Structure formats: structure tokens, C-alpha cells
Amino acid sequence: MSDKSKKCIVLGVTGGIAAYKAADLCSKMVQAGYDVHVIMTASALELITERTFLTLSRNPVTTTLWDVPIWQPEHIALAERADLLVVAPCTANFIGKYTHGIGDDALTTFALAHTEKVLLAPAMNPRMWQNAAVKENIEILKTRDVEFIGPEPGRVACGDDGLGRMAEPVEILEQVKRLF
């Protein structure tokens, strides 16, 4: 059950292999006293389970727009009370959809309805991070006051080296605290 006295954070989890780090981030945000609600993409569900975030956040996890037992769509109700959207890991796919107003799943639809602060923690192959379209989308989002943390240099899951690793959960939590 949500605690209305706490700052409400929506944690968007996309289908990057760093999704396992999102569980640690969720845990750290709850321990820091935030009311955390998780929205997962279908691709994220291929990498980590909904039950992990249900247990860590102690809140229902949204994975689809269609399994809502009440009259009001959850993504809109949540947008009305969320103080911050954090997307970690944030894929090039999410960045592109968010930049261009495409809301074709629960997370992108929520993001389009959300009017408060946004923090994105990119995680992708270094070649994807260097792609001209991704760079342009990031510049557009920065003009809309979207905050970014990372990516970090190092070896990514596929074995390539370069900018692409998601920032560590403790660093993301510190940025969340600064935003509040």
C-alpha cells in the first residue's frame, strides 16, 4: 500500500541486461524512504521477474496497460502522484520512443503522462550510444529538462568496451536525492 507522506518514485525497467541492477536500485530507494512503484517493459520481463520488484517495492508492479482491475488506468493514476520517474536501465529504444512521443506500452505511456522530474540511466552497447540518432534524441531530451546519469565506461555484457554501462545503483540513488 502506498504511503502518501513519502516521495513517490516510478522506476521504469527496460529490457537491457542491466535490469538486474534495477532490483538493487529499487531496494536502495525503498531503504532510503521512498515510495517506489515499478513499471516493466515486456523486454525487461525476459530478463528479471515482476515478483522481484513486487517484493522489493512492496507495491504492485505494472507490466501492461490491459490488466487493470479498476476503472482508472493505473499509468494515469500513478502519473498524478509520482514525484520522479527514473528509468534504469534506459535503452535506446525507450529514449527514441520517449523523445518522439510514442506511447505503445505501460512505461512509455506513463512517461508521456508524467509531468514531474525525469532521470534516465542509459545502458546499451557503446556503438548504440554513439549512434547519431541516439545522440540527437538525448540532446532533444536535455532541452526538455530530462536529467541523465551515465552511461559509464567499461566492458558491457556483450564483451565490448566503451561508454555504455549503466551507472551504479548507489550513484543513481545519490542523483535521486539531489533532485529532491
Selecting among 8, 26, 90, 158, the annotated active-site residue is 158
Q: Which amino acid is at 116?
A: E
Give dist(CA 94, CA 33) in Å, integer. Answer: 27
Judge whether 158 counts as a catalytic residue.
yes
DSSP characters over the chain: ---TTSPEEEEEE-SSTTHHHHHHHHHHHHHTT-EEEEEE-HHHHTTS-HHHHHHHHSS--B--SS---SSS-HHHHHHHH-SEEEEEEE-HHHHHHHHTT---SHHHHHHHH--SEEEEEE---HHHHT-HHHHHHHHHHHHTT-EE--PEEEE-TTS-EEEEEPPPHHHHHHHHHHH-
Residue in this structure with the C-alpha cell 502519473, named with its chain if needed? 79
Write out the catalytic residue numbers: 158
